[in-house]
Structure 1
Amino acid sequence: MGRVKLRSPAIAAVLDLLMVVLFAAIGRRSHAEAAALSGLFHTAWPFVVGGAIGWLVTFALYRNKFDAFLIVPTGIVVWVMTVGVGMTLRALTGQGTAGSFIIVASVATAVLLLGWRALAKLVPSGRP
């Protein structure tokens, strides 16, 4: 059996997904909203779609030099698309997009999506 590469794009994609779901879960918890899985899905899906679009955009623009673990450009593009597309989808579906929420979502997702990439720089890649 083959070994899983710790720096594979699949690992990075899962980490991004987990960070977006964590953001949604923390937000729901801080507002004492129901902990049901359906509620979490309702909150998270616009941002998950935004993150997926961010991945597609980054890969399309930088496919010859694509590295999912880079803060620039991958992390920044994924973060901006997560928030931008997420807020657009929330507005189109009648969910809240108050200015304070946009600020909090932007800061929180930046910390989560860029933060894990910054921490990953501290872990040796295994390459010489």
Structure 2
Amino acid sequence: MPRSAPLRPADPSRSRPGRARTVPVAWWIADVALILVFAASGRRTHEHGVTVAGVLETAWPFLVAYATATLAVRAWRSPGAPWPTGVVLWVVTVAGGLVVRALAGGGVALSFQVVTLIVLGAFLLLPRVVLRVVRRRRRPVA
């Protein structure tokens, strides 16, 4: 007699087709765009020229670290969560990006590290915190 498959909770992605994939993709697009804005802003501030190649040259270590963090924390499970998803994405993107940048011969002065920590913290955490606050305010009081 064949064994039946174990019972599993309903998969929320099946109840709303397309939603489970579009939400993480929207977060990834926003996060990558903000990392690119960080790189472009730094290049503009230091008068290095804001070209596509230049921005990518500055951003790639942080994009690699962000991709690694996304996989490590399985960000697709709760892409908009400030904790732990947002914090892990932020810390790993900053630390990993700085390490990769240093290994590639880029500058990692203490002032750059501090600015990177603050700006990427704001870019990767604030949207998640704001969304969390807005969602909590929309919930009806029981």
Q: How far has the Cα of 1:122 moved from its partner?
A: 4.5
5+ residue gaps, structure 1: none
Question: Aligned to 2:108, what secondary structure does the other structure show?
Answer: coil
CA distance in 2, matches of 1:35, 1:9: 28
Question: Aligned to 2:107, what secondary structure does the other structure show?
Answer: coil
Q: How far has the Cα of 1:107 moved from its partner?
A: 0.4
Q: How far has the Cα of 1:120 moved from its partner?
A: 2.0
Listed as ranges, the matches of 1:35-74 within 5 Å are 35-59=50-74, 66-74=77-85
Listed as ranges, the matches of 1:1-128 within 5 Å are 5=19, 8-59=23-74, 66-124=77-135
Q: Structure 2 length as normaliser, TM-score?
A: 0.77
Give the counterpart letter for 2:101 in structure 1. R
Higher relative contact order (CA 8 A, sep 6+): 1
Question: Aligned to 1:121, what secondary structure does the other structure show?
Answer: helix
Q: How far has the Cα of 1:32 moved from its partner?
A: 1.3
Q: How far has the Cα of 1:123 moved from its partner?
A: 4.7
Q: How far has the Cα of 1:33 moved from its partner?
A: 1.2
Give the counterpart letter for 1:118 in structure 2. V
Q: Spell out, residue by residue over 1:60-99, the C-alpha distance to the aligned partner (whole angstroms, 9 max, x if none).
A: xx87xx2000000000010011111100111111000011
Q: How far has the Cα of 1:4 moved from its partner?
A: 6.3
Q: How far has the Cα of 1:121 moved from its partner?
A: 2.4
Q: Structure 1 length as normaliser, TM-score?
A: 0.85
Q: Which moved more, 1:2-11 or 1:109-118?
A: 2-11
User: Identity rate of aligned residues, in percent?
Assistant: 34
CA distance in 2, matches of 1:47, 1:90: 8
